[in-house]
A = this chain, B = another copy of it.
């Protein structure tokens, strides 16, 4: 049978990032944690934890962590019916659910959804951030049990719910537009005006250029991996950027930001994909996510 004290040790190391901190969470010594993990790895003949600072799960380790989440959810239901299972003085470990989202969703609507869920649920949440085109991989690789993703295609073993559309506008400060786009948004202007790019996975600027100008163009860019930083840097005139309408709206209304080409939004449809096994036990989470999305995203 599975050695659950070892499985729990692996999950705790991955979650906290170190054997020492896992020991603190599990109320045992670091060497006990180390021994449990090592014995399990030897028995399975695979490495479950990549030792480092922080320690992370290997691909096989990730699946084991997701299994522990699912078991934790089942245990939670069992304890409801048989509270005596928790021994006197024993502290129940709370189950942590791993969820992936894009930074822009987190910065515009997702915190409201997960806060609502977290307040009335026994679960802790571990929110991971990646580009909306890449969060689906997190699900596929078993690193999370649910994700906000731009992938419409249902992922194997997952349920998919359509959330609505996150709308972006290509925006900059009026001074920036006057300095670089006085002659309009020409290919020459695009080649000299610095854009803002979130990171190497962020293709929104290039997609907007293709949609607006009908061709692929290269452009100089600053790199700034922060949704709020993007907005601030656009307002300060550092570059032009694709900002979500939820954050840009008030600044467009007051004229502190202007669209490079009025009326040319870029729409990104978003989906909620959730592991089927988990979905049944997390109907509340899906409910909160879809409810908030309905209010904050475009239909």
Give residues in A with beta carbon < 8 Å to B.
16-18, 24-25, 54, 91, 94, 96, 103, 106-107, 111-112, 114-116, 118-119, 124-129, 191, 194, 200-201, 216, 218, 220-229, 232-233, 236-239
A107 B238 Cβ-Cβ under 8 A: no
Complex CA gap A259/B218 in Å reads: 48
A54 B220 Cβ-Cβ under 8 A: no
Considering only CB atoms, which chain B residue lies closest to A26 in the complex?
A: B218
Main secondary structure of the interface of A (DSSP, over half): mixed
Of B112, B124, B228, which is within 8 A of A236 by CB? B112
- Residues from chain B with Cβ under 8 Å of A239 in the complex: 118
- Residues from chain B with Cβ under 8 Å of A126 in the complex: 222-223
- Residues from chain B with Cβ under 8 Å of A223 in the complex: 96, 125-127
B225 A228 Cβ-Cβ under 8 A: no
Complex CA gap A217/B81 in Å reads: 31
| A226 and B103 in contact, given A236-B116, A238-B119 (Cβ under 8 angstroms) | yes
B115 A232 Cβ-Cβ under 8 A: yes
A127 B218 Cβ-Cβ under 8 A: no
Considering only CB atoms, which chain B residue lies closest to A112 in the complex?
A: B236
B115 A237 Cβ-Cβ under 8 A: yes
- Residues from chain B with Cβ under 8 Å of A233 in the complex: 111, 114-115
Complex CA gap A236/B109 in Å reads: 12
Considering only CB atoms, which chain B residue lies closest to A195 in the complex?
A: B124
Q: How far is the CB of A135 from chain B (nearest CB, A)?
A: 14
Complex CA gap A58/B27 in Å reads: 39
- Residues from chain B with Cβ under 8 Å of A127 in the complex: 222-226, 229
Considering only CB atoms, which chain B residue lies closest to A231 in the complex?
A: B111
- Residues from chain B with Cβ under 8 Å of A116 in the complex: 236
Complex CA gap A167/B228 in Å reads: 20
B17 A222 Cβ-Cβ under 8 A: no
Considering only CB atoms, which chain B residue lies closest to A203 in the complex?
A: B21
A54 B229 Cβ-Cβ under 8 A: no
B218 A115 Cβ-Cβ under 8 A: no
B238 A128 Cβ-Cβ under 8 A: no
- Residues from chain B with Cβ under 8 Å of A227 in the complex: 226, 228
Considering only CB atoms, which chain B residue lies closest to A16 in the complex?
A: B200
- Residues from chain B with Cβ under 8 Å of A118 in the complex: 194, 222, 238-239
Considering only CB atoms, which chain B residue lies closest to A97 in the complex?
A: B222
A238 B114 Cβ-Cβ under 8 A: yes
Q: How far is the CB of A235 from chain B (nearest CB, A)?
A: 8
Q: How far is the CB of A246 from chain B (nearest CB, A)?
A: 12
B107 A226 Cβ-Cβ under 8 A: yes
A218 B25 Cβ-Cβ under 8 A: yes
B200 A17 Cβ-Cβ under 8 A: yes
Complex CA gap A246/B129 in Å reads: 24
